[in-house]
Amino acid sequence: MSSCMEHPDIGLSPSPLLFTPYSLRGLELRNRLMLAPMNQHAAIDGFADDGLLVHLGKYALGGFGVVATGATAVTPSGKIGPGDLGIWSDEHIPGFKRLTTYIRSHGAAAALQICHSGRKGSIQRPWQGFGPIDESDLVRNEQPWPLWSPTGEALGPGHVAPQALDEAGIQRIIEDFAAAAVRADRAGFDILEIHGGHGYLIASFLSPVINTRSDHYGGDLSGRMRFALEVVKSVRAHWPERKPLFFRASCVDGHPAGWKLEDTVVLATQLKEHGVDLIDCSSGGLRISTSIENTQRKPGYQVAYADEVRRRTGIPTSAVGLILDGRQAERVLQEGAADLVAIGRQALYDPYFAHHAAQDLGVDAGFDAWDISAGWWLAKRRPGLAALGLPGSGESRISNI
């Protein structure tokens, strides 16, 4: 596995891979940086509004190659929390269309992550407790809703107990995913990502800890993978052939008896055969919002998963997890650990992560990749800053590494 995070400041190439174009199917990305899907918990009835346009639009302005939404529910009962985005209705399409038009107009590809919460739904917003919806939420007219899962086991004490899906229910949800793919295309998204990790519905079918079914959607690995593969097959059939399809996986689910990296390799091989173009490699989240993996974080702590899956299956991967600057991201690519690098919370801290990484790596010293309304101002002040030896002049730090 890759050791690319041990010495992130040593031996970088003068020709950064991070800012070379990358092609998947009929789509060419301007660079290898992807905004990781992150829920904002701010939507009303699932609709994309001005707040989402401003939030995600700034990452297109900030230079990312791919800008992705957070988990977007394919059905109202598939929401994680009351503020989730949704794409269960044609009425959601115009708001998303406005978003994708803006993102694409600034050179980025727009990605939609579609999700069904499974038993990890009917949960409060993080800043309101991140627990089961309770009396305090009822004051805001936020009611709990029925949940669906492989079995009737609740997420934890006080959480809504899900109903175990029968085969008719499974087929209904597969159809919900397919319908979401059709709407995503109509809304102008370039990439679709199926959320198959973090303990949500697909991941709960995959994990032997949660999926204790005895029918052909449970039991051995083949049975537990059946639902995921049927979702992918249906989505791929309804998603244009020219557009890439991603799958987010928890490469390990954070339970000692649970889903393992070896299982992910087997799944990834079959996902590739079913038309998935890239595995977005994450981890954890089986039972609660964190896991053993996610509480023992260090820079690049999930990169090894992307490396292993890519090396053993040949499918492209995206690496994510405490990737904090451009040099660290560049090393991931140079060591062959992944094809794309996803930036999450560090992008919240610095929406211009991509532009700053480019300058740190000696790319675009003249601010040509910036939106022209900002770039010309920054280029104009560059000589003065450089003369004073001040940061912000676009000078590369590569020569100092």
Q: Which residues are catalytic?
A: 200
Instruction: Tell me the HSE value of 337 on the side-chain side, using a 13 A CA sphere.
Output: 26
List, as one string, the DSSP characters of 304-331: HHHHHHHHHH---EEE-SS--SHHHHHH
Burial bucket for residue 139 (CB in 10 Å: 0-12, 13-18, 19+)? exposed
Amino acid symbol at 187: A
**3-class SS shares of the chain: helix, strand, coil, % to 5:** 40, 15, 50
Phi, psi at 120, each rounded to 5°: -90, 40
Residues 6+ apart with CB under 8 A from 15: none
User: Shortest CA distance to 291 belongs to which of 265, 258, 247, 318?
Assistant: 258
Integer Cα distance of 268 and 274 in angstroms: 10
Degrees to nearest 5, angle at CA 248 with 350 and 173: 125
Q: Alpha-carbon distance 53 to 31, whole Å?
A: 22
Q: How many Å apart are CA 169 and CA 396, to the nearest integer? A: 56
What is d(CA 309, CA 286) in angstroms, rounded to the nearest whole number?
20
CA distance 323 to 44: 31
Query: How far apart, in whole angstroms, are the C-alpha atoms of residue 145 and residue 327?
Result: 45
- Indicate the SS3 state at residue 280: strand
